[in-house]
C-alpha cells in the first residue's frame, strides 16, 4: 500500500501564525524531540509499514516542506510531492485527494491528514485491507467530547457504520471519523462525480457515505489517543498528552 498525507488548507483557525506558515510545520514540543506536526502522521504511516508516501500542500508552503523532509530517506521512506492550488473555486479534502491519482495508480492506499496525531499504529489493518476483497474503505473512529467539529459516525448494534453526518449541530453519537482513511483506487471515480457542498467544498464525508451506503466500508474504534491540531486548544492538547505519556 501507498500513503498520502494531505497538508494543504489555510489553517484559518490558527491565524495569524498560519498567514505565512503551514500548520504542518508548526513545532510540537515533546520529550522525544521538537518535531513539526507533519512528523506524526508521517511516522504513523511508516510505523504501519507504508513507506511510499505522497505529500500534498499549497504552492505557498510546499517548498518549505520539501526543504525540511527532502526525499524522505532520512526518515526511512520515499517521498513525492504535489502542489494543491488553493485559489480554485472548489476546495476541500476530497478535492485535494484527486491529486494523488497518478501517484496511487491501481494500488490501495492510506490517506492521513497532516494535522492528526495517532497513538495507535495500523500495521495489521494495512495487511487486512490489502487482502480485503469486500470492503473498499476502512474508517477509524474515536469517541470525543466535541463531535460537532467532525464527521460523526452512527453505528448499529453490530458495530457497522450506518451513517456519517458532517459537523452536525446535534450529533447522534460521540464517534468522530478521524483523519485516517483506507481506500481502493475506486475513490478517484467518486471524487470526479462529487458535487460541491454548501461550503463549496468537495466533502470527504460524501465520499465515505457512498461506501457506507453500499455496504463496502469497515469501521474500527481506536483504542489509543487521537487528536487533531486544527485549533490552538487541540494543538496544545497533543503537546500535553506527549509530556504526560513520557
Which cell is 116 given?
A: 492528526
Rounded to an integer, what distance in angstroms lies between the CA atom of residue 138 and that of residue 135?
7
Per-residue pLDDT of 109-163, as tens digits, reads 999 999 999 999 999 999 999 999 999 999 999 999 999 999 999 999 888 999 9
The string of pLDDT tens digits covering residues 189-211 is 998 888 877 777 778 899 999 99
Q: Are 113 and 179 in contact (CB under 8 A)?
A: yes
CA separation for the pair 27, 23 (Å, rounded): 9
Cis peptide before 16 (omega within 30 of 0): yes
Beta bridge partners of 155: 161
CATH number at residue 27: 3.90.550.10
**Residue 101 dihedral angles phi and psi, to the nearest 5°:** -60, -45
pTM of the model: 0.93
**Number of compact structural domains in the chain:** 1
Report d(CA 126, CA 44) in Å as an integer.
Answer: 12
pLDDT (tens digit, 9 = 90+) per residue, 82-100?
988 766 545 678 778 889 9
pLDDT of residue 9: 64
Parent domain of 209: 2-245
Q: Would you say residue 51 has pLDDT above 90?
A: yes
Amino acid at each position: 500500500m501507498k500513503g498520502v498525507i494531505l497538508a494543504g488548507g489555510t489553517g484559518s483557525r490558527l491565524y495569524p501564525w498560519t498567514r505565512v506558515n503551514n500548520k504542518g510545520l508548526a513545532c510540537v514540543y515533546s520529550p522525544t524531540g521538537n518535531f513539526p506536526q507533519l512528523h506524526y502522521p508521517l511516522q504513523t504511516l511508516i510505523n504501519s509499514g507504508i513507506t511510499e508516501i505522497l505529500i500534498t500542500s499549497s504552492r505557498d508552503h510546499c517548498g518549505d516542506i520539501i526543504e525540511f523532509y527532502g526525499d524522505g530517506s532520512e526518515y526511512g521512506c520515499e517521498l513525492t510531492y504535489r502542489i494543491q492550488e488553493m485559489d480554485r473555486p472548489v476546495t476541500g479534502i476530497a478535492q485535494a485527494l484527486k491529486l494523488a491519482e497518478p501517484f496511487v495508480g491501481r494500488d490501495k492506499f492510506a490517506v492521513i491528514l497532516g494535522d492528526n496525531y495517532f497513538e495507535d499504529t495500523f500495521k495489521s489493518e494495512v495487511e487486512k485491507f490489502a487482502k480485503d476483497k469486500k470492503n473498499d474503505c476502512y474508517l477509524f473512529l474515536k469517541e470525543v467530547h466535541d463531535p460537532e467539529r467532525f464527521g460523526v459516525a452512527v453505528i448499529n448494534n453490530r458495530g457497522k457504520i450506518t451513517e456519517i453526518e458532517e459537523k452536525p449541530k446535534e450529533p447522534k453519537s460521540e464517534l468522530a471519523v478521524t483523519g485516517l482513511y483506507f481506500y481502493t483506487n475506486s475513490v478517484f471515480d467518486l471524487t470526479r462525480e462529487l458535487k460541491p457542498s454548501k461550503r463549496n467544498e468537495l466533502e470527504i464525508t460524501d465520499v465515505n457515505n457512498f461506501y457506507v451506503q453500499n455496504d463496502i466500508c469497515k469501521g474500527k474504534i481506536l483504542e489509543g489517543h487521537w487528536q487533531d491540531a486544527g485549533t490552538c486548544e487541540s494543538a496544545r492538547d497533543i503537546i500535553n498528552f506527549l509530556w504526560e505519556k513520557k
